[in-house]
Structure 1
Amino acid sequence: MSYHVSPEYKEYIAKLVEEEGHSQRDLAEEIGKHRATVGKWVKAYRLKVARERSGDILSTPGEMEAVKRAYEKKMRDLEEENEILKKAMHIFTQPKP
């Protein structure tokens, strides 16, 4: 019979695997879940820990796309500013008549 498992419990099981060295297979048998299910929990936990360490809080493709667009806009703005500065430098370096 299937039953719902809370996110806290999933994280607890993943911590047992990651931090205490328990095997996924043994824990899966003990709690009555398939090893692949426990593997998914561990994978999700690893991703969560990696995001926390890197400070990355983006979790959806939409959020990542928005950040990408913002960086692309900033890059275009900086390229435009660079072109303006090049033209100004050219004007100021011309010999005076």
Structure 2
Amino acid sequence: MAAPRKYSLELRERAVRMYRTSDPKPQIKKLAVELGVHPEALRGWIRRRLQDAGRRRLAAGQSRRPRSRQNRIGNAAARRAACALSRVRHSNAWLW
């Protein structure tokens, strides 16, 4: 069972909406203090919303795939490489 979220969905949506509709854009830290949320949490919500809207590119190394799937794929590749390397080491053991 997933852990409960610290901030409600309504609060997150309202915070992002306040940031997007204000002109000029406020400092994220000041807005976060005003709303009673952690500045990095607010920054992540804003970044995610901009990415979803297509107005912000993904950073290098990011993808839209869920992270757990990326980890499984990466771990499987690492296991295959380690297995192949150990086979090479054992077959060439007499050279060492």
TM-score per shorter chain, which class?
Answer: 0.3 to 0.5
Q: With structure 1 as the length reference, what TM-score do the two structures score?
A: 0.43
Q: With structure 2 as the length reference, what TM-score do the two structures score?
A: 0.44
Computing the radius of gyration from Cα coordinates, the structure with the larger value is 1
Pick the structure with more helix per residue.
1
